[in-house]
Amino acid sequence: MHGGRDYTHPVLIDDEVTKRLHALADLAPLHQPLSLYALGEIRRALSDVPVVACFDTAFHATLPDAAATYALPAERRERFGLRRYGFPLPLARPRRPPRGRTPGNRPRPPAPRGLPPGSGASLTAVAEGRSVDTTMGFTPLRGRDDGRAGRTGRAGVHRRSR
């Protein structure tokens, strides 16, 4: 489920949270509506049980501005909420940090990790257990970068055209 900028940690679901999650549906048009449908069914069937949502975008909430910011005018980024959100990497596995240091005694840079196969292929740089860069973007439809500045993918264009 897409948490947008608002939800970067697990949250107890209530009517207000559900309403805000519906407003984010265009950020993950293939995933969010189905997740919200399932959420509604669970809340109806188990009305006395607290329901907590955990967000696919939470791992990448730690992206520094340099990694999360698209090469677009600031006014447009703010008006349309355009930023790199990043999405989960089911195939990313923890690995030992690289041993030693680089020449000049500098720490080694974060290594790219996570190479899911198929059209959703992406790369993620992880440092000290936190996402510091990713090729995933504004929506789950965006994968590896093709080198063109400001590329948000199809959903970013749709959001700007509304």
Give the separation between CA 94 and CA 55, rounded to whole angstroms: 20
Give the separation between CA 32 and CA 29, rounded to whole angstroms: 6
Q: Which residues contact 118 (CB under 8 A, 6 or more apart)?
A: none
Tokens of 97: 């940090």
Q: Which residues are catalytic?
A: 56
Tokens of 69: 């910011």
73 burial level (CB within 10 Å; 0-12, 13-18, 19+): exposed
Angle subtended at Cα 125 by Cα 128 and Cα 93, rounded to the nearest 5 degrees: 75
